[in-house]
Amino acid sequence: MPDTAAATLLIDGRRHSAPATFDVVDPASLDVLGQAADADVTHALAALDAAAAAARGWADTDPETRSGHLRAAAAEIRARQGELALLLSRENGKPLAEANGELTGGARMLEWAAEEGRRAYGRVTPASAAGPGLVLRSPVGPVLAITPWNFPASMLLRKVGLALAAGCPVIAKPAEQTPLIATALLDIVQATGLPAGVLQSLTTTRPAELVGALLADRRLRKVSFTGSTEVGLGLLRQTGDTLRRTSLEMGGHSPAIVFADADLEAAATGVVTAKFFNAGQSCTAVNRLYVHESVRDDLLALIEKKTAALRLGRGDAEGTTIGPLIDKAGLAKVENQVADAVAKGARVLIGGSRWESGDPALRGHYFRPTVLTGVTADMLISHEETFGPVLAVTTFTGDDEAIALANATDYGLAAYLFGSDLRRVWRALDRLDFGVIGVNDPAPVRPELPFGGQKNSGQEREGGAEGIEAYTETKAVALRF
């Protein structure tokens, strides 16, 4: 099923075959799913040559034309959604329904970028004694877009859409676990008739080497990275003596607070959704649940029932609601956090172990959806991003205690509040140190909202009006008549 184009690289408007390829593994069965081209530093520099050469022309292309490419790509993704969702599900392991949702989300992000690109306004300031002032925005220039495997479609389309809409050429560097869906989507964008050099695609097993070579070249003007905090902070350190715009969307450790006045049925559904979506491998996944002691037992009974109803399996099999973890290291991390919590006194309410079905088609790395109660601050799971299907539950008595517990982390991406008292919710919104907050909403990511984190979860925003700004430079012009 995967396109043979996946074994080639897109550079300067043409597909190039690389001297080497690498295997792409189906995480559900561990079978080989296809091959991707393994780019080296020569390809990376050729991609930057092409992007640098295309930069002026693309910046001068009128925004309406740029928007047209993005709208056409979104329409094609919607038209081919079934086929693309199957590929995404097989390559990443997520249930088909989630793969379909991710592609719809990606198309919506392209559409938003197409609309916002036409509204990247500047400002005119009131005239001083000398004359008026202008604030102009211009495209930042060639962009490197580095994306992760957990949302390999939507993260890529969000970056590519916003950068192209702003007038910047892009070098996309998808994750090595999921190059096939990335290649298929980038082909769709290119096939809208983009001029040569405006979009490049580099799949590789040597990300550090390639990215290092690109960062050492002053022609690269922006890096937009989504991935782990460790790698993101490493990129900042590598910038060396050339400053460039850097957007970082990194790890998370999201708290969910359930107040005593919450609709418990809705809160339980919300927490289970935000926790187990993508098998817990989401930067916005709920890691820590803080529940008011007065509703603890009722809420946990609902959460246990809903967790028990989840069905493990292949993402592309009917009825599956939770798929495998991406690899062995992901499984080991989850097992280690559970063992550490249990050794320090946590109780397993449900799950707690690997799932092995004995079916050769399900040889991947599965972990049962798990809920741990009695979780305390000394446990690893209270500090480390889990990136797996484990919910850590702690009770609280006062609102300020819940907010302090939620903020007690170096991460600051997403948080969730469940409650009906607006005054209490507003007070919590004011005090929580997180970039994205869902109020009775387990899916707070929308194209029209700026997405991003505080503290070690990131800098700059993707989406909203801020999303275009992140790909533009500001020029202040003082006019004297």
> Mind telling me the catalytic residues?
249, 283
Q: Residue 282: name the closest of 96, 443, 455 by CA.
A: 443
389 binds ligand NAD (CB under 6 A): no
| Amino acid in the structure at residue 182 | A
227 binds ligand NAD (CB under 6 A): yes
- Shortest spacing between CB 80 and ligand NAD, in angstroms: 24
Q: Is 149 in the site for ligand NAD (CB under 6 A)?
A: yes
Q: How many C-beta atoms lie closer than 10 Å to residue 126's C-beta?
A: 6
Determine which residue in the list 117, 313, 315, 458 makes contact with ligand NAD, applying CB under 6 A: 458
C-beta of 117 vs 458, nearer to ligand NAD: 458
- Smallest separation, CB 269 to ligand NAD (Å): 23
Site for ligand NAD in 182-221 (CB under 6 A): 207-208, 211
CB of 103 to ligand NAD, least distance (A): 16
- Who's near 118: CB < 8 A, 6+ residues apart? 63, 64, 67
Residue 160 interacts with ligand NAD (CB under 6 A): yes or no: no
Count interface residues toward ligand NAD (CB under 6 A): 28
Tell me if 268 sits within 8 A of 442, measured CB to CB: no
Three-state secondary structure call for residue 394: strand
Instruction: List CB contacts of 266: < 8 A, sequence separation 6 or more.
Output: 418, 440
Does residue 91 contact residue 203 with C-beta atoms inside 8 Å? no
Binding of residue 147 to ligand NAD (CB under 6 A): yes
H helix intervals, 144-259: 154-166, 179-190, 207-215, 229-238
Estimate to the nearest angstrom the gap between the alpha carbon of 11 and the chain centroid.
Answer: 25
Measured distance between the N- and C-terminal CA atoms of the chain, rounded to whole angstroms = 64
Beta bridge partners of 133: 125, 478
State the residue for tokens 């909203």: 464
Report the residue count for the chain.
481
Contacts of 202 (CB under 8 A, 6+ apart): 9, 11, 39, 43, 44, 47, 171, 172, 173, 210
148 lies in the site for ligand NAD, by CB under 6 A: yes
Q: Which stretch binds ligand NAD (CB under 6 A): 32-40, 149-157, 267-275, 464-472?
A: 149-157
Q: For ligand NAD, which is the closer residue by CB, 252 or 324?
A: 252
Q: Does position 283 bind ligand NAD by CB under 6 A?
A: yes
Quick check: 236 binds ligand NAD (CB under 6 A)? no
Contact flag: residue 41 with ligand NAD (CB under 6 A): no
Using CB under 6 A, which of 2, 251, 280, 313 touches ligand NAD? 251
User: For residues 110 and 155, is the Cβ–Cβ distance under 8 A?
Assistant: no
Among residues 159, 173, 221, 333, which is the contact residue for ligand NAD, using CB under 6 A?
173
Q: Which listed range, 96-104, 144-152, 303-311, 464-472, lies at the site for ligand NAD (CB under 6 A)?
A: 144-152
Q: Outline where DSSP puts E strands in 202-241.
A: 222-226
Asked if 286 interacts with ligand NAD (CB under 6 A), we say no
Establish if 413 lies at the interface with ligand NAD (CB under 6 A): yes
Q: Which of 67, 100, 150, 472 binds ligand NAD (CB under 6 A)?
A: 150
Cβ atoms within 10 Å of 142's Cβ, excluding its own = 29
| Residue number with CB closer to ligand NAD (64 or 230) | 230
How many C-beta atoms surround the C-beta of residue 335 within 10 A?
A: 17
CA-to-CA distance for 470 and 465, rounded, in angstroms? 9
Q: Select from 146, 182, 286, 362 the one that contacts ligand NAD (CB under 6 A).
A: 146
Cβ at position 444, least distance to ligand NAD in Å: 12
Provide the binding-site residues for ligand NAD, judged by CB under 6 A: 146-151, 155, 173, 175-176, 207-208, 211, 226-228, 231, 234, 249-252, 283, 385, 387, 413, 453, 458
